[in-house]
Amino acid sequence: MTDARALYFDGRSSEGREVSLSLDGAGVLLLRGEGISVGFPLDKVRASGRIGSSQRHLYFPDGSKCETADNDAVDRLFEARPRAFAQTLHRWESSLAYVLAAAVITVVSAFAAIYWGIPALAKQVAFSMPAATDALIGRDALAALDRFVFSPSALPPERQAALRKLHEGMAAGSGAAKEETAAYRLEFRRGGRAGANALALPAGIVVMTDELVALSQDDGELEAVLAHEIGHLRQRHVLRQLLQNSATALLVAVTMGDVMSLTSLAAAAPTLLLHAKFSRDFEREADDYAFEHLARRGIPPGKFGAILQRMDEKRPGEKDAPDFLSTHPGTRERIERARARP
């Protein structure tokens, strides 16, 4: 008995030929058409899953295949096979309630992964990453900054030497393992569009710009900034942020498919806000480390607030960003935290 009409592709030509599909008593799927008469054991035939009313594909052991829009006929042909999962999947796909439930579960799961899972995993990976990998990332990052942002420092060598000596003493007293602090080093650059700034890179690299040195009123302020950057190094913040961003981008791509679609861009908006929050949390951790260092050294925490205030005044454009989009806590908040320290 004929069960379905289909187009047959023999695997050698792109031309499809019309055939009829039927199942004989021995469980052999028969294909009959003009110049075609072949059969395949049904248990050797692979059928694509049923998705709405889309065409089904039947794949045969010799590399040929059939295409048919008669989904019900294909289901009848294979009704003798175990099909509980396929039926369940089709039932879910055909129900709006199930689709909505699956969407909610997907969103909640993705949010939980981004908010809790990925940061926890990134922290574990960052602290277990081999030193050679850490060094490679730091070296490449500094090379990229030198190429696109920074230029050679014009700071006098004796001034650089004095600040490096200060930094070395701070690193030695940071509580980190000796083999870790041995890799810490302070680099000086002209900031260019980065302006008065300092940043920590993997492999223990801290970059301080000439503009920041010029902006400071004394070495106590620069020591506060260096302590903040050492706090980033101690907590592996840069590596953790890099790992979190990469894992989140991969998760969004897998979950949403086309990452350039409008839907995917909308889905990425909450992750942007979450990562801004994580960046602010990292900054607060580094600030806390700086406050603790200043307290041990007997340096007023107001030194940190003072240099932050002047840095903020040098970058007026950044004040326009809403707090929830900023990757740093507001300068006012940071100054108030500094003033609240004993």
267-320: pLDDT as tens digits: 444 444 444 555 888 999 999 999 999 999 999 999 999 999 999 888 755 554
Q: What percent of the chain has pLDDT over 70?
A: 84
**Cα–chain center distance at 270:** 13
Q: Which CATH class is domain 2-94?
A: mainly beta
Question: Quick check: helix, strand or coil at residue 324?
Answer: coil
Is the separation of the CB atoms in 76 and 56 below 8 Å? Answer: no
What is the C-alpha to C-alpha distance for residues 60 and 72, in angstroms, rounded to an integer?
A: 19
Instruction: Characterize 137-152 residue by residue with b for buried, 16 or more Cβ atoms within 10 angstroms of its Cβ, and e for exposed.
Output: bbeebbeebeeebbee
Q: Which tokens hold the place of 238?
A: 């840069």
What is the C-alpha to C-alpha distance for residues 239 and 236, in angstroms, rounded to an integer?
A: 6
How confident is the model over 171-182, as pLDDT tens digits? 988 887 887 888
The predicted structure's pLDDT at residue 340: 84
Could you tell me the pTM of the whole model?
Answer: 0.66
The predicted structure's pLDDT at residue 268: 45
What is the C-alpha to C-alpha distance for residues 236 and 217, in angstroms, rounded to an integer?
A: 29
Mean pLDDT, residues 42-54 taken together: 86
The predicted structure's pLDDT at residue 219: 97
The predicted structure's pLDDT at residue 271: 46
The predicted structure's pLDDT at residue 123: 92
The predicted structure's pLDDT at residue 266: 44
Tell whether the model's pLDDT for residue 214 goes beyond 50. yes
Mean pLDDT, residues 148-157 taken together: 96
Domain ranges for the chain, please list them.
2-94, 109-340
The predicted structure's pLDDT at residue 272: 46
What is the C-alpha to C-alpha distance for residues 282 and 232, in angstroms, rounded to an integer?
A: 7
* pLDDT tier at 322, thresholds 50, 70, 90: very low
Mean pLDDT, residues 222-251 taken together: 90
* pLDDT tier at 257, thresholds 50, 70, 90: low
The predicted structure's pLDDT at residue 326: 46
Count the helices and strands in the chain (H runs, E runs). Answer: 13, 11
- Bridge partners of 5, per DSSP, are 20
What is the C-alpha to C-alpha distance for residues 287 and 219, in angstroms, rounded to an integer?
A: 17
- Bridge partners of 39, per DSSP, are 30
What is the C-alpha to C-alpha distance for residues 304 and 245, in angstroms, rounded to an integer?
A: 29
The predicted structure's pLDDT at residue 317: 54
Residue showing tokens 């992964």: 113
* pLDDT tier at 263, thresholds 50, 70, 90: very low
The predicted structure's pLDDT at residue 269: 44
* pLDDT tier at 80, thresholds 50, 70, 90: low
Instruction: Characterize 232-246 residue by residue with b for buried, 16 or more Cβ atoms within 10 angstroms of its Cβ, and e for exposed.
Output: bbbbbbbbbbbbbee
Is the separation of the CB atoms in 312 and 319 below 8 Å? Answer: yes
Write the burial class of residue 19 (CB in 10 Å: 0-12 exposed, 13-18 middle, 19+ buried).
buried
Listed residue (250, 238, 257, 232) closest to 117, CA to CA: 250
